[in-house]
Amino acid sequence: MATFTAQDGTQLYYKDWGTGQPVVFSHGWPLNADAWDAQMMFLAERGYRVIAHDRRGHGRSSQPWNGNDMNTYADDLAQLIEALDLQEATLVGHSTGGGEVARYIGRHGTKRVAKAVLVSAVPPIMLKTESNPGGLPMSVFDGIREGVAKNRAQFFKDLALPFFGFNRPDAKVSQGTIDWFWLAGMQVSIKGAYDCIKAFSETDFTDDLKKVNVPALVLQGNDDQIVPLDDSGVLSAKIMPTAKLITYAGAPHGMCTTHADQVNADLLEFLQS
């Protein structure tokens, strides 16, 4: 397996396929790099170099006690990009990974970045605050923490349904997708999974988004039951100076899986533009 070692000694797994202009993917919680397989295979077959890592504590990366916060996630991404000496990369982040991409740009700038894509992403901030009245109350995230701490095996099975929209009356339910989501969730260290909830829900990415000075694309479904569209994708697209928002009718949070063909087509068009 390909790995690199972060500054604090954490070993991070990554996959690196194809040749050409680099596209770097950051996955959502509680998943890993495999969440991007449909996009990575599609783009690698079309002449792009595609790279995705397992976030610390997730998947095949090691499970440190510390560093499960957005600043460290972004710094890990920076170290991967620098280790591979990537130039003119397009950064693509889903959900928590979208926060990772935004925070990377906020902390490390765009000298190695050509474009940025946020997919069903958590920025600008998920938590309801005085400055973000449309956010979700802390009780929602406390409930997620309780589910992870008490019985994460059952919690991840249950979470898969709204994540992929499988709880909708007309949904075509894939048991294989549910099983894969559960397996990925169970590969996360419980400490990493628990701490990441605070990272993705309470981090304010507003200032990071303002620093996105490269072409940006925001993709999100209007039936996202995990990260509500109006308080995430819509706001992020308004904050980033050069962003374009594409809304998918009826698409869920996990639309990179359920709507892979559409996501792939939009990514390719953006990369070629």
pLDDT in tens, 230-273: 999 999 999 999 999 999 999 999 999 999 999 999 999 999 99
**Across 8-17, average pLDDT:** 98
For residue 206, what pLDDT is reported? 98
Active-site residue, from 54, 75, 76, 224 = 224
230 is catalytic: no
In the chain, domain spans:
3-272
For residue 28, what pLDDT is reported? 98
**Tokens standing for residue 28:** 């959502």
224 is catalytic: yes
pLDDT in tens, 51-103: 999 999 999 999 999 999 999 999 999 999 999 999 999 999 999 999 999 99
For residue 30, what pLDDT is reported? 98
**Tokens standing for residue 36:** 């991007």
**Tokens standing for residue 177:** 């997708």
Active-site residue, from 94, 253, 259, 266 = 253
pTM of the model: 0.98
CB neighbour list of residue 152: distance below 8 Å, 6 or more residues apart: 185, 186, 190, 193
For residue 82, what pLDDT is reported? 98
For residue 182, what pLDDT is reported? 98
Burial 26-60 (b: 16+ CB within 10 A, else e): bbbbbbbbbbbbbbbebbbeeebbbbbbbbbbbbb
128 pLDDT above the threshold of 90:
yes
**Across 24-45, average pLDDT:** 98
Tell the residue number behind the tokens 């972060």, with chain if given.
6
For residue 71, what pLDDT is reported? 98
1 pLDDT above the threshold of 90:
no
Fold adopted by 3-272: Rossmann fold (3.40.50)
- The span from the CA of 2 to the CA of 162, in Å, is 33
Active-site residue, from 95, 120, 232, 236 = 95
Residue 170 dihedral angles phi and psi, to the nearest 5°: -100, 15
**Across 157-181, average pLDDT:** 97
**Across 5-28, average pLDDT:** 98
- The span from the CA of 1 to the CA of 59, in Å, is 12
**Tokens standing for residue 126:** 């998920």
3 pLDDT above the threshold of 90:
yes
**Across 181-197, average pLDDT:** 98
Residues above pLDDT 70, as percent of the chain: 100
Residue count of the chain: 273
Q: What mean pLDDT value characterizes the chain?
A: 98
